[in-house]
Structure 1
Amino acid sequence: MSRFELSLLAMSLLVSLTTACTSQDSPTPINTSRTEVVQQRDPTQGNRIRIALGGMITPKEGLAYYREFLEYLGRQIGQPVEYVDAEDYAEINRKLETGELEAAFVCSGPYVDGKEKFGLEFIAAPQAYGEKVYYSYFIVPSKSQVTSLDGLKGKSFAFTDPLSNSGKLVPEYTLARMGTTPERFFSKISYSGSHDKSIKAVSEGLVDGAAVDSLIWEYKNQKYPEQTANTRIIFKSKPYAPPPFVVRPGLDPAIREKLRQVMLNAHKSPEGKVILSKMMIDRFVPLNDSAYDSVRQIKLWVDKPKPGKPR
């Protein structure tokens, strides 16, 4: 082998080693807007239905069950379904408004916003633990001396998402009724990004309190009681209509009706019933839009300027 060929070989090896080290040592960027096909079918059977999962009533670990349900949904309607990941509730609403999504599981707050802003359409809502409602739980570490909301004054507190009803709007509304705001009442405010992260933050003493979705707390309390053992509920809000499954305005009425029928009858199917049980959902039920009026009232109260009480 000539000296020139040896030199080329050495350079090739160096490039290979450098590439290997780079891919191993450097973190790989994660695309939070990825789209993944969860149900493959013949394209001639129709366009894919793009669905996002935002307002789940299970912790993030329950995502696998929701995706299993999406596969079931696709088989039942005879069209391929795509799971679309999104950063937060605001991004999901934006994608629904611009037609980048056909449907989504959303929180009550984003549903009310989307309904008012661009005509978001309700399809069904989950009934869980025998109820068609859910609550906002204010929780603290189990060893905390705090026994009421008043005891959290001057403490650190975690919200979940700025648009979350149980994780943001309800506590903000509760404080507004007391004549104050989160910024004035708490010493520090943070956003965890999800209800299960808020539960963990309280359990580990990273924050003094948090407001979380009762359905997610109850899910963890039943399946993983060790994760809620170090938390204690000090306040339970009044009931609210649960996070719904919605579709964008303008969706083909035939597809919309197929989705509605599959959702409302899933508990009657042996396969659907098994999947729902994993999600801790009894069944999906129809609700009148007026069921979400209590959320609208909260938003009106919170957004309304209070004389002499700067926000």
Structure 2
Amino acid sequence: MIDRRLVLAGMASLAFAASASAEDWRTKYPEITFAAIPAENGSGVTERYGPFVSYLSKELGVKVTLRVANDYAAVIEGQRAGNIHIGYYGPASFARARLTGVKTDAFVIDVNSDGSKGYYSVFYVLAKSPYQKIEDLKGKNLGLVDPNSTSGNNMPRFKLNHLGIDPDAYFSKVIFTGSHENAVLALAQGTVDVAANWWNSEDDSNLTRMLNKDMVKSSDGKTLTKADFRIIGKSDMIINSPYAYLSELPDDMKAAIKQAFLDAATKDPEAFKKLSDGKNRPWEPITNADYDKTVELIKFVDSLRKKGS
């Protein structure tokens, strides 16, 4: 016959163990760092992510500090050093992290308003220019974003290779602008003749988000509109960006982080909406294996560079 007191004691012991486990990770990690790639300028990233980081702190019960990365590599190296516990990557920078031995695991992915989980790389020119296709731009200046940007460097190089174009030989200059916003501004102000950028849909792209903030001006100070730009090239779909935590974090801590992300759209809808200007659906789970094709893309682009060196 089972002693009821023993059963109750056992249940209490399990409950205490679970509570102690939860307490253990919070004791070990009283403050964690969340870092985001510089998809826009520093103040823009802070404004966009600030409310969500506050939600995350409240939900996890520990202080979450936002770090705005100077470049894509900063998120990679910060996680390699263990200084960034949660990173918002681009697909290519996450693939680069994996290729170079960073112990990080993707756990949720951005989801577009139509339920799709991908976006595109596009080449923009000014609508007033004579350029109708990439082949019209030989000897001109190309604006890219960052060496580890998917839509701003790796996919454009992949696309150009399919056209038989070596960008470093074909264009007069290839300029890394540092961010997607800077690439648009370089085009608007005439520093480059064509610029690569990300694009989800006609009403959701880096360009439209910048236009909504009246950020895009020509060299003479004129405020530009969507009609002032033309897309002359578009890639195949790229898998959306992942959020990834350090593999070595305690399992219960990782579970709590993942659940906080999955619950965000319901528990703090305003903070969640601010991340994408209300364009995205709630995050969905993802794994490292979903980025295997992106890893292959990075390997291919690396092979192109080696051939050219």
Q: Runs of 5+ in structure 2 lacking a partner?
A: 1-25, 200-204, 217-223
State the Cα RMSD in Å: 2.5
Please name the residue that 1:61 is paired with. 44
Equivalent position amino acid for 1:304 in 2: S
2:66 corresponds in structure 1 to 83
Q: Which residue of 2 aligns with 1:104?
A: 87
Aligned residues: 266
Q: Is 2:121–2:234's contact at 8 Å kept on the other side of the alignment?
A: yes
Structure 1 residues 193 and 175: alpha-carbon distance in aligned structure 2, compared to 1, 3 A threshold: same
> How far apart are residue 210 of structure 1 and its match?
0.7
Between 1:203-212 and 1:287-296, the stretch displaced more is 287-296
**Partner Cα distance (1:58, 1:266) in 2:** 24
The equivalent of 1:122 in structure 2 is: 106
Alignment CA distance shift 1:233-1:60 (3 Å) = farther
Query: Offset at 1:222?
Result: 5.4
Could you say which residue in structure 1 is the equivalent of 2:274? 278
Of 186-195 and 213-222, more deviation after overlay is shown by 213-222
Separation in 1 of the partners of 2:181 and 2:33?
Answer: 25
Distance 1:242-1:57 versus aligned 2 partners, 3 A rule: farther
Letter in 2 for 1:137: V
CA contact (8 A) 1:195 1:212 kept: yes
* Distance in structure 2 (CA, Å) of the matches to 1:250 and 1:50: 15
Letter in 2 for 1:126: D
Distance apart, 1:305 and its partner CA: 5.3
CA contact (8 A) 1:57 1:243 kept: no
Larger-gyration structure (1/2): 1
The alpha carbon displacement at 1:218 in A equals 4.0
Counterpart secondary structure, 2:118: coil
Task: State how 1:189-204 maps to structure 2 within 5 Å.
Answer: 189-204=174-189
Task: Tell me the amino acid that sits aligned with residue 85 of structure 1.
Answer: V
Higher relative strand content: 2
Report the TM-score when normalising by structure 2: 0.78
Distance 1:129-1:56 versus aligned 2 partners, 3 A rule = farther
The equivalent residue for 2:234 is 236
Q: Once the two structures are aligned, what percentage of the paired residues are identical?
A: 25
Greater displacement, 187-196 / 209-218: 209-218
**Which residue identity is paired with 1:115?**
R
Query: What is the CA–CA distance in structure 1 between the aligned matches of 2:208 and 2:92, rounded to whole Å?
Result: 20
